[in-house]
Amino acid sequence: MILKILGSSSSGNCYILISETGQSLIIDCGVNATFIKKSLNWNVSGCAGLLISHEHGDHVGPKGKFVEGILKTSIPVYASAGTIAALHDYGIKGFWQPKPVERMKVYQMGEYRVMPFGVQHDAAEPFAYLIEHPEAGRILFATDTAFMVDQVDERTGQPVKIFAPPKIAGVNNIMIECNYDENRLEANREREIITTGQYRRVKANHLSLTHCAAFLERNVTSDVVNVVLMHLSPRNSDDATIEGYIRNVIPGVNVEIAKPGKEIQFNNKPF
């Protein structure tokens, strides 16, 4: 299986899995629908579907317009009920309607088995996805998430947010956000390159370098073939720093920074 990266930044996110039979699965739609169809070699009928993580413009296009373009084809579009409601609020129209999927339920989409699950982000009902295919094994796709959980402070009784990296069994290929380097983010706030509001939003809604590393340290086993780091902030991260840090945490695993135009072989075993 091949992973094609069409976009992975604040300007647009889109990824395509293509099996050896030619069947594809699109994840997020932050680039123009015509560009997506061209990247599929116009084989729209061979696409099992489009999975949407959430309704922000860099994942669905301005006011959902890129998704609207896909809805005018035969490609089925899947998202949470909350995301679909947000897309309808944008006023998108198409020949077809997006299909709602529920968290922790398994769906068969052509050759692919897909299970959505909820994540922490400032969107209506954001999802990450576990995707299974015989060629690539189990793929984790998780972007735009702080992976935060609510707990209660025992001393005050007040709700607090703490970082708790989940354990996800049996993963072979990991596609995960690594949005910002904490040191760079702090420096940008001190130099007023970003506002206090932007600083707080990033911290509350995106996955940092050290939190990404902690998640990978807990989840990377000898079965993991690739780790693809997505959605790096152009202001709050540096490719070399991010890649070097993660490689030191999970030595021996193929680590890739997601870049438009890059293609990565997804196998179900390291060798």
User: In the predicted model, is pLDDT for residue 152 greater than 90?
Assistant: no
Q: How far apart are CA 78 and CA 83, in angstroms?
A: 10
**201: how many CB neighbours lie within 10 A of its CB?**
13
Torsions phi, psi of 248, nearest 5?
A: -70, -30
pLDDT interval class at 137 (50, 70, 90): very high
What's the pLDDT score for residue 155? 79
Q: How do residues 45-99 score in pLDDT, each as one tens digit?
A: 999 999 999 999 999 999 999 999 999 999 999 999 999 999 999 999 888 999 9
User: In the predicted model, is pLDDT for residue 150 greater than 70?
Assistant: no
Choose among 22, 6, 252, 7: nearest CA to 133. Answer: 22
- Tracing tokens 């015989």 back to the chain, one arrives at 134
Q: CB within 8 A of 210, min separation 6: which ones?
A: 182
Query: Which of helix, strand or coil describes residue 43?
Result: coil
Q: How do residues 187-205 score in pLDDT, each as one tens digit?
A: 999 999 999 999 999 998 9
Q: How far apart are CA 117 and CA 220, in angstroms?
A: 19
